[in-house]
A and B are shown apart, each in its own frame.
Chain A
Amino acid sequence: MIEPTRMSAVELINQMSAGHLSAEEVTRAYIDRIDRLDRSVKSFLLFDPESALTVARSIDQKRRNGEHLGPLAGVPIALKDNLCTPGLPTTCGSRMLQNFRPPYEATVIRKLREADAVFIGKTNMDEFAMGSSTENSAYGATCNPWDLERIPGGSSGGSAASVAADFAPLSIGSDTGGSIRQPAALCGIVGLKPTYGRVSRYGLIAFASSLDQIGPFAHDLADTSLLLQVISGHDPHDATSVDSPVPDYLATLEKPPERLRIGLVREFFSEGLDPEIEAAVREAVRLYVGAGATVKDVSLPHSKYGTAAYYIVAPAECSSNLARYDGTIFGHRAADWSPRTPEEAEIPPLIRMMMASRAEGFGAEVKRRIMLGTFALSAGYADQYYNQALKVRRLIRNDFDAAFADVDVLIGPTTPTAAFKLGEKAADPLAMYLSDIYTITTNLAGIPGLSIPCGLTKSGLPIGLQLMAPAFAEENLLRTARVFERQTDWHTRRPSLA
């Protein structure tokens, strides 16, 4: 039998149901691997082997007793540290929430717990999910398992790296502008941003509420489908979650798509795209043609404004969402807020306390975005910036609607380049923002986006293929991606971690 840490979640479930492996053995195998190797990857902020083993043993006991078991019984899963886990630290990668123990449970966490998944730890992330490299974490960067001198992508870099390194077969991330798909691409795994409203955001620490969506990471599409199914569905605690039935994604995955009409997004093959990435994506397109797809060039003419629109909308929402961190109800409070200048002496002590607490609790990128959003919403500028960005957002959505009139799935690269070096873009916020150039528009439009591994560069770095579909067409999106996965073995490749 192969190592449990090389099995997919579906294989682990089969082995455990057949009695060939216990949940405790599986969990222990992952714990051993994390113990050995995570000191070089640094994907976890919280690693709790004892609790994981306790849960695993209780699942084995339930199995022995013949009790009902959930669909993820005994499968280890890593959780992004912006999901509220009651009683367990939930830092959001920020010093602001260093000591925060949520008094309530995120809906996704509850669903995973009820599915009998085993929580193996909480993963590193860019502070408040703002970033594309995981370098903005207050707790240090995560390294890409394929090249430890490179970034794993972000903001869900720890979740992506943990699956890529086989520290867990599954993990959960969140995606506001590409934070699942970009790290999935750079770490050579599958990552899905579901349709806005498919998965409840209750208990996800809010960054930009009209864009945030929780989604799965896995090595393959079967595991992705299984995990998506567990976390999807309407939730009375999230009024934006949508009350439409959740299909059995796993059961239909092997059915070939009824139609295979693919659109190639012209704007995603422009200047700035690395030739090796372009070649891998074009090769994927040839494979689809061979599988009988009709491929059509499509244009999303306003997608070039996507990054600009995003960097008004997301900061505007974040400036409002992060106003709650003021040192009063929860989160960091500065020890000293005495005035440093005569001007500050004019400010009431309560306000000085808030200003000092936020100055100490937030890192540079978070401060930058809060200020950007505050400015874009401020009197005299809201029309010029915020409302204009929302109008451009509609143009971007209209482009997708027009494209999906003729094609079922859009295809392109997930990222313009493979993983960059740690520190390479840290001093240039705008250069960092542009690494999400191909993923950002799907968040603005609310539609689902999927990244699957489709190649390796000459230097051995993973390349991601992005597929996009209309709202709530995840089932067809996964089946279309499966056409590629079935004929390739990129999803079976693993980094060689010493």
Chain B
Amino acid sequence: MSLTRDDVTKVAFLARLQLEPHELDTFTGQLNSIMDFVAQLQEPDTADIEPLAHGVEIHNVFREDRAVPSLTREAALSNAPKRNQESFLVPVVLD
């Protein structure tokens, strides 16, 4: 597996990261070393092995679907980078 500069550009866009050209070079090199390192995961025989998502396997937890107190609107908005009285404000989404 070898990641090209174009692959990393594509991944950075998927990850919503704007990269400077010099970062793109550094990350391409470093991500390739890491991918070379993780290639060893293909070595063990995993034919009949189920994936393990949690070390301590857990079961579903159910509860009544009841409204409980939660953050006030003001508390929820208190860390917004940009807001008005009742909403988060973002750059224009639709023309």
Contacts and interface: CB of A to CB of B under 8 A. Distances in A.
Interface of A: 99-101, 103-104, 195-197, 210-211, 236, 239-240, 242, 302, 304-305, 307-309, 311-312, 319, 323, 326-333, 337, 344, 348-359, 362, 364, 367-368, 370-372, 374-375, 378, 384-385, 387-395, 397, 429-430, 433, 443-447, 471
Contacts of B15: 319, 358, 367, 370-371, 374
B85 interface: no
A237 to B, nearest CB: 11
Given A239-B61, A358-B18, A349 B92 contact: yes
Contact of A196 (B14, B50, B55): B55
Given A328-B88, A395-B49, A312 B55 contact: no
8 contacts: A103-B79, A239-B58, A242-B56, A350-B92, A375-B11, A391-B46, A430-B30, A430-B33
Contact of A429 (B34, B44, B52, B75): B34
Contacts of B2: none
Given A391-B51, A446-B55, A371 B17 contact: yes
Chain B residues touching A, range: 35 or more
A202 to B, nearest CB: 13
Contacts of B34: 311, 368, 372, 429-430, 433
Nearest 4 CB-CB pairings of A with B: A446-B55, A390-B51, A333-B81, A330-B79
Contacts of A309: 41
Interface string B29-65: 0110110011011111010011111111010010100
Given A328-B90, A378-B14, A471-B55, 10 more contacts: A330-B81, A333-B82, A348-B93, A356-B18, A358-B18, A367-B19, A394-B52, A397-B55, A429-B30, A429-B34
A393 B16 contact: no
Contacts of A446: 54-56
B20 to A, nearest CB: 8
Contact of A305 (B41, B51, B55): B41
A103 B41 contact: no
Nearest to A429: B30
Given A337-B91, A446-B55, A375 B31 contact: yes
B11 A371 contact: yes
B81 A305 contact: no
Contact of B8 (A319, A326, A371): A371
A302 B82 contact: no
A439 to B, nearest CB: 14
Contacts of A392: 41, 44, 46
B55 A447 contact: yes
Task: Name the residue among A327, A337, A375 with the largest chain B CB count within 10 angstroms.
Answer: A375
B18 A331 contact: no
Nearest to A355: B18
B84 to A, nearest CB: 14
Nearest to A236: B63
Contact of A378 (B11, B30, B31, B42): B11
A309 B19 CA distance: 27
Interface string B4-17: 00011001111111
A337 B93 CA distance: 14
A358 B53 CA distance: 28
A152 B18 CA distance: 32
B38 A312 contact: yes
Contacts of B37: 307-308, 311, 430
A337 to B, nearest CB: 7
Nearest to B81: A333
Contacts of B14: 374, 378
A326 B55 contact: no
A112 to B, nearest CB: 22
B35 to A, nearest CB: 8
A210 B54 contact: yes
B41 to A, nearest CB: 5
Given A308-B41, A327-B81, A392-B44, A397 B52 contact: yes
Task: Name the residue among A308, A337, A429, A443 with the largest chain B CB count within 10 angstroms.
Answer: A308
Nearest to B52: A394
Contacts of B75: 103-104
Contact of B91 (A236, A304, A349): A349
B87 to A, nearest CB: 11
Contacts of B31: 368, 371-372, 375
Nearest to A323: B16
Nearest to B61: A239
A393 B30 CA distance: 24
Contacts of A104: 71, 75
B41 A359 contact: no
Contacts of B19: 359, 367
Contact of A355 (B17, B50, B71): B17
Contacts of B63: 236
A393 B80 CA distance: 39
Contact of A387 (B51, B56, B80): B51
Contact of A308 (B8, B33, B40, B93): B40
A348 B93 CA distance: 7
A471 B56 contact: yes
B55 A350 contact: no
Nearest to B78: A103
A445 B30 contact: no
